[in-house]
C-alpha cells in the first residue's frame, strides 16, 4: 500500500513547516486539504504550488482554529470529500512573554490554536480512520513539548498538552486496523530551531544585540540551545512526516520525535 490517492489535511500550511509537509505528501500523489490564514491570491498560490508538487487535487480551508464551530464546518467538508486519511496539526502561534506579563487573551489564544484546535480535528477524524483501518495523526509539537524555556508559559503549556493528548489518542487507537491496512497511529514531531516565520521575532531580538546582523542573531540563538549550531529546514520535517504516514510505520505510535540538533539530549 502506498499513499497515492490518500487525503491529507495539513493545518497551517500556507508557509513554513506546514507547507513543506503538504508538498512532501503531494509528491506521493496525496490529495491535499491546505489550510491557513490567507487572502485569495495567497491561497491560490499555495494551491498551485501543491498541484505542481504532484497533488492530484487541492482544496483550501481558512477555518479559525480558535473556533470549534469553524473547525467542525471544515471537518464536515472533509468528510464529504471522503474523509481525512492523514491529519497534520501544524497550525500554531507563539507569543514570547513572561508569566507575569502574559494576559488572559494571550493564554487563551495560544492554547486554543496550538492545543484545542488539534483536539477538535482529532475528535472528528480519528473514529473514521479506525473504521477504515488506516489513519495517521502527526502533531507538530516542539522541543517545547519536551522541555521548557523562560518567557513561553502559554506556548510550552500548549505543546506539553499536545504531547499528552497524542499519547492518549495513540493508546486508544493502537489496536485499530492491522499491519496490512496500516493501522492508526498518532505521533508528534518536535522541531527545534527551524527556519520559519514563527522564530523571526526572536531572531530579530538577538540580531539587535549585534547591530542588526541577522546571521549573528541566528548564531546567538542556536548557541544557547541547539548543539549542532544548525537550524533545520522545513523540508526535513516534511520528510519525517511523510515516512511516519507510510504503512511501514504502523507500529510507531505515541512517540515524540525531536529534530533539534541535540537540544533535548542535554
DSSP codes, 45-78: HHHHHHHHHT-S-EEEE---TT-HHHHHHHHHHH
Predicted pLDDT of residue 1: 65
Q: SS3 of 195, please?
A: coil
Q: How far apart are CA 41 and CA 38, in angstroms?
A: 8
Class (C level, CATH) for 7-194+233-265: alpha beta
Beta-bridge mates of residue 77 = none
Predicted pLDDT of residue 166: 98
Predicted pLDDT of residue 226: 94
- Dihedral of CA atoms 3, 81, 241, 94 in degrees, nearest 10, equals 170
The size of the chain, in residues, is 266
Q: SS3 of 1, please?
A: coil
pTM: 0.94
Q: How far apart are CA 72 and CA 57, in angstroms?
A: 22
Q: Please report, in tens digits, the pLDDT of each residue of the chain (266 residues total).
A: 689 999 999 999 999 999 999 999 999 999 999 999 999 999 999 999 999 999 999 999 999 999 999 999 999 999 999 999 999 999 999 999 999 999 999 999 999 999 999 999 999 999 999 999 999 999 999 999 999 999 999 999 999 999 999 999 999 999 999 999 999 999 999 999 998 887 888 889 999 999 999 999 899 889 989 999 999 999 999 999 999 999 999 999 999 999 999 999 99
Judging by DSSP bridges, how do beta strands 58-61 and 86-89 pair with one another? unpaired
**Cα 241–Cα 34–Cα 4 angle in degrees, nearest 5:** 55
**Hey, where are the domains in the chain?**
7-194+233-265, 196-231
Question: What single DSSP character describes residue 10?
Answer: E
Helix (H) and strand (E) counts in the chain: 9, 7
Catalytically active residues, by annotation: 155
CB environment 155-183: b (16+ within 10 A), e (fewer): bbbbbbbbbebbbebbeebeebbeeeebb
187 contacts 251 by C-beta, under 8 angstroms: no
**Count of CB atoms within 10 A of residue 135's CB?**
29
Amino acid at each position: 500500500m502506498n499513499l497515492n490517492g490518500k487525503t491529507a489535511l495539513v493545518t497551517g500550511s500556507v508557509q513554513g513547516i506546514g507547507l513543506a509537509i503538504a508538498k512532501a505528501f503531494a509528491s506521493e500523489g496525496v490529495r491535499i486539504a491546505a489550510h491557513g490564514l490567507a487572502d485569495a491570491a495567497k491561497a491560490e498560490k499555495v494551491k498551485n504550488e501543491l498541484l505542481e508538487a504532484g497533488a492530484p487535487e487541492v482544496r483550501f480551508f481558512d477555518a479559525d482554529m480558535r473556533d470549534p464551530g469553524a473547525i467542525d464546518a471544515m471537518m464536515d467538508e472533509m468528510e464529504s470529500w471522503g474523509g481525512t486519511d492523514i491529519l497534520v496539526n501544524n497550525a500554531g502561534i507563539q507569543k514570547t512573554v513572561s508569566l507575569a506579563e502574559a494576559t488572559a487573551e494571550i493564554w487563551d489564544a495560544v492554547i486554543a490554536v496550538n492545543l484545542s484546535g488539534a483536539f477538535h480535528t482529532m475528535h472528528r477524524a480519528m473514529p473514521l480512520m479506525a473504521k477504515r483501518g488506516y489513519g495517521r495523526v502527526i502533531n507538530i509539537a516542539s522541543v517545547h513539548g519536551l522541555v521548557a524555556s523562560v518567557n513561553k508559559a502559554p506556548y510550552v503549556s500548549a505543546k506539553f498538552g499536545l504531547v499528552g493528548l497524542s499519547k492518549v489518542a495513540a493508546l486508544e487507537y493502537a489496536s485499530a486496523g492491522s499491519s496490512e491496512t496500516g493501522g492508526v497511529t498518532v505521533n508528534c514531531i518536535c522541531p527545534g530551531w527551524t527556519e520559519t516565520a514563527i522564530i523571526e521575532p526572536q531572531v530579530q531580538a538577538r540580531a539587535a544585540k549585534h547591530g542588526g546582523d541577522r546571521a549573528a542573531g541566528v548564531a546567538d540563538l542556536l548557541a544557547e540551545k541547539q548543539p549542532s549550531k544548525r537550524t533545520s529546514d522545513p523540508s526535513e520535517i516534511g520528510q519525517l512526516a511523510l515516512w511516519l504516514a507510510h504503512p511501514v510505520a504502523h507500529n510507531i505510535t505515541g512517540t515524540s520525535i525531536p529534530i533539534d540538533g541535540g537540544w533535548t539530549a542535554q
